[in-house]
Structure 1
C-alpha cells in the first residue's frame, strides 16, 4: 500500500470506522499525484469539474470575484482535506480554487469517486461529514465578516488557523507561519491591507501575539480568544475519531 493511499485511508478513518473491504476499495481508487506551484488555479468559475483532489501537502483557498475583479477569499483548505466535494454532483464550479502555497495533491476522477461512494456507504458518510463541517466554517466566516469589528475578525482568523493547524498536525504548539499575505488576509476579512497591518500591530502591542516575519506566536491564548469571540464549536472537532 502506498504512502498516499495510507494517508487517504487515515482521513476516512478519522471520520468513520472502516472495514477491511472499505480500505481495499480506497486503495483501488485511481489516484494521481501531482504538485502545483503557489497561485496556480486548480479550478475556475464556470468550468466543469472532472476530478476531486485530496490535499497531501500545502494550502489552497476558494475565492469569488466581482465583475470588476474585486476578490473575496471565502475559505482556506488544509492538508488532509478534500477539495470541492460539492462538485461530485454539480455540473459546473461557481467559484475559483487557487493554490495558496505549493501544493501536492492526490486527484481521483469524479466518476470513480462517485462509484466508490455508491458502493461504500461508510465512506460516503465520512465525505458528508467533511462537507457539513466545511459548511459550518462558511457560516462562521459569514458571521465574522458581517458582524465583528476588524480587530475581532482578524483575531478570529488567527485563532482558527491555530486550532486547525494543530488538529491537522501541521504544528504542535501555538506558533505557526502565517500562510497569507496582508492583502490576502484583507480579501478574506473585508479589510484593506493597511487596516490588516494596523490590527496585527495592535494585537502584538497588547501582548496577544508575537510576530517574526511571517511567523505568528500566540502569547496569550485566552486573551486572543476573548478578542476574537472565538468558540471552536463550529469546527466540530469532536467529529474527529482518535
Structure 2
C-alpha cells in the first residue's frame, strides 16, 4: 500500500521539474515539520516591512506578490500556483521588501526558517534545487518587465494567459484544453499595467479571433499555437523540464 501524500508533495514535484532530487532528498523534504493554514482570498501571507522567521509553501489555491506605490496603486509582480515556495528570499533576507497575498482561498504549509536552513546544509541537492527555483523566479520577473514595458496590450494579455497555462500544465493542474482563470479582470489589470476596461476589451478581442473561449471563469485554448504567437510566448524563461501541451486548430 502506497504512503499517503504529504503536505509538501506538490513542492517536491515543483522542485523536481527544475533540478534532480533523489529518494532521500524527497523524503527529507516531506518530513519537514509543517503547520497548515487555510487562508481566504486577499489575506496577507507576508506584509512588506515584516521580519519573517517562517517559510511558506502554497499547497492549494493561488497567491500573488505585489508592491504598492506611494499613492496606493498596486502592481502585481508575480503569481504563485500550488507547489510554489513563497519567497525563498526570506531564508536569507530578514526584512520583506514586498507583500504576498492570496489570490483565491487556499492552503499554505508553514515551515520554520531554521528547519529549511538545516535541511539545505544536510542535503546539498535540496539547496541546489531551491537555488534553481529562485533563479527561475528571477527569470520570470525579467519576462514580466518586458511584458509590461514593451509589449502591447493584446500581446501582454495573451502572454500572461500562456504563462499561467504552461505553469499549470507542468504542475499537472490543467485539463486537456484549458483551466479555471483564478484572476478577476481587476487583478489582471494590476498584473498587466492596464485598466480593467482595457483588459476586458483584450479578452473579448482574443475570444472574437477564436484564440480563446470562455465559459464563466474557464479559459479554453482552441488555437494554442496561434495564441502563443500573438503573445510572443516562448517558455524558455520558465526553465521547466517538461513539454508544453499543444493544441491544433
Q: TM-score range by the shorter chain?
A: over 0.9
Specify the alignment match of 1:131 in structure 2.
134
Cα distance change of structure 1 residues 72 and 182 upon mapping to structure 2, 3 Å threshold = same
Matched, 1:206 2:209: yes
Contact 1:57/1:103, CA 8 A, preserved across alignment: yes
Cα distance change of structure 1 residues 225 and 88 upon mapping to structure 2, 3 Å threshold = same
Specify the alignment match of 2:165 in structure 1.
162
Specify the alignment match of 1:68 in structure 2.
71
Distance in 2 (CA, whole Å) between partners of 1:231 and 1:20 is 32
Matched, 1:175 2:174: no
Counterparts of residues 16-165 of structure 1 (less than 5 Å) = 16-165=19-168
Cα distance change of structure 1 residues 16 and 153 upon mapping to structure 2, 3 Å threshold = closer
Specify the alignment match of 1:194 in structure 2.
197
Contact 1:31/1:106, CA 8 A, preserved across alignment: yes
Segments of structure 1 that go 5 or more residues without pairing to the other structure are none
Cα distance change of structure 1 residues 209 and 103 upon mapping to structure 2, 3 Å threshold = same
Local SS of the residue matching 1:55 = strand
C-alpha displacement of 1:133: 0.7
Segments of structure 2 that go 5 or more residues without pairing to the other structure are 244-249
Cα distance change of structure 1 residues 139 and 12 upon mapping to structure 2, 3 Å threshold = closer
C-alpha displacement of 1:178: 1.0
Distance in 2 (CA, whole Å) between partners of 1:44 and 1:16 is 30
C-alpha displacement of 1:22: 3.1
C-alpha displacement of 1:229: 0.8
C-alpha displacement of 1:54: 1.3
Q: Calculate the TM-score normalised by the size of structure 2.
A: 0.91
Distance in 2 (CA, whole Å) between partners of 1:20 and 1:139 is 33
Q: CA RMSD in A?
A: 1.8
C-alpha displacement of 1:26: 2.5
Contact 1:4/1:106, CA 8 A, preserved across alignment: no
Local SS of the residue matching 1:48 = coil
| Larger fraction in helix | 1
The size of the alignment, in residue pairs, is: 240
Matched, 1:3 2:24: no
Distance in 2 (CA, whole Å) between partners of 1:11 and 1:203 is 30
Contact 1:37/1:103, CA 8 A, preserved across alignment: yes
Local SS of the residue matching 1:238 = coil
Specify the alignment match of 2:230 in structure 1.
227
Contact 1:31/1:107, CA 8 A, preserved across alignment: yes
Contact 1:166/1:173, CA 8 A, preserved across alignment: no
Distance in 1 (CA, whole Å) between partners of 2:234 and 2:19 is 25
Which one is further off, 82-91 or 30-39? Answer: 30-39
Distance in 2 (CA, whole Å) between partners of 1:20 and 1:133 is 23
Distance in 1 (CA, whole Å) between partners of 2:23 and 2:211 is 47
